[in-house]
């Protein structure tokens, strides 16, 4: 299979030969943040929708790991295309290396801009300890996203709370480039993967974009994680009780 790089640099977006992003498409990405919600959501969407792998991101600090999935070699940063709804997914199996994060995100934002995406959807987690009502998520729109915001029916993030990491940097870069982008954040448990929160994210994406990504696998993973967490707490509680008697 032949591929063509979009430009020569220490940061390259390598696309499958013959593939071009259709103007008006939606860019979707989620990084490894709180609860790993962004990554879990994006990776599960590509599998559930059977999106086609169409490219990769290469950089000087590319993580020195590969793995297998469905009998195919998978790389740290992959691009997938769901033609039916014109969705392009970036699946980052690792965070961009901290030493090149600023340049990495800057070049990604530049590519998003020149590719003429109609909007970017950036997925992440929000600390559940800040939850004060029944709403399951909050959003952080760029100024150019205001005309799209109504379709989500999601409250804007409260003043005084912050988005952090690569997602925050990408939102900032897209704001400066006057691009329509939305950070979508579901409340998640700190300190462990939270597939239940990712399932909440996918249900909203299914609703807004009219796709049918099955979330049952994520819910099953969540039930298993909760079972193991309860078991761990029970063991720790038993250990503390035994310490009371010498």
Q: What digits encode the pLDDT tens for the residues 204-244?
A: 999 999 999 888 887 787 676 666 556 656 666 655 544 44
In this prediction, residue 70 carries a pLDDT of 83
CATH of the domain at 180: 3.40.50.10900
The number of beta carbons lying within 10 Å of the beta carbon of residue 4 is: 11
In a domain, 237, yes or no: no
Q: Which residue has the tokens 């994060």?
A: 101
The domain tally of the chain equals 1
In a domain, 239, yes or no: no
In a domain, 46, yes or no: yes
pLDDT tens profile 47-71: 899 999 999 999 999 988 888 988 8
Q: In this structure, are residues 5 and 16 in contact, taking their beta carbons and an 8 Å threshold?
A: no
In a domain, 57, yes or no: yes
DSSP-based three-state secondary structure for 183: strand
34: containing domain: 3-215
In the chain, the percentage of residues whose pLDDT exceeds 90 is 59
In a domain, 243, yes or no: no
pLDDT tens profile 112-143: 999 999 999 999 999 998 888 889 999 999 99
In a domain, 232, yes or no: no
Q: How far is CA 51 from the centre of its chain?
A: 15
Q: In this structure, are residues 159 and 126 in contact, taking their beta carbons and an 8 Å threshold?
A: no
In a domain, 227, yes or no: no
Residues 207, 208, 212, 213, CA torsion sign: negative
In a domain, 233, yes or no: no
| Average pLDDT score over residue span 193-212 | 92
DSSP-based three-state secondary structure for 179: coil
């Amino acid at each position: 299979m032949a591929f063509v790089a979009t430009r020569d640099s220490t940061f390259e977006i390598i696309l499958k030969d013959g593939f071009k992003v259709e103007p008006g498409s939606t860019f979707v990405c989620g990084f490894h943040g709180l609860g790993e919600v962004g990554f879990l959501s994006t990776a599960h969407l590509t599998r559930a929708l059977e999106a086609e792998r169409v490219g990769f991101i290469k950089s000087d600090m590319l993580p020195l790991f590969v793995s297998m999935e469905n009998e195919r070699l998978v790389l740290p940063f992959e691009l997938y295309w769901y033609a039916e709804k014109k969705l392009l997914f970036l699946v980052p199996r690792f965070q961009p290396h901290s030493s090149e994060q600023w340049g990495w995100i800057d070049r990604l934002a530049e590519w998003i801009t020149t590719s003429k995406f109609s909007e970017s959807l950036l997925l992440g987690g929000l600390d559940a300890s800040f939850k004060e009502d029944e709403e399951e998520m909050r959003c952080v729109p760029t100024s150019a996203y205001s005309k799209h915001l109504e379709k989500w029916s999601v409250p804007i993030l409260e003043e005084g709370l912050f988005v952090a990491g690569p997602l925050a940097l990408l939102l900032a870069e897209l704001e400066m480039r006057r691009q329509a982008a939305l950070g979508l954040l579901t409340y998640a448990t700190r300190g462990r993967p939270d597939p239940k929160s990712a399932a909440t994210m996918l249900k909203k994406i299914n609703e807004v974009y009219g796709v049918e990504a099955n979330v049952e696998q994520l819910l099953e993973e969540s039930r298993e994680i909760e079972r193991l967490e309860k078991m761990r707490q029970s063991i720790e509680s038993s250990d503390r009780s035994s310490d009371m008697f010498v």
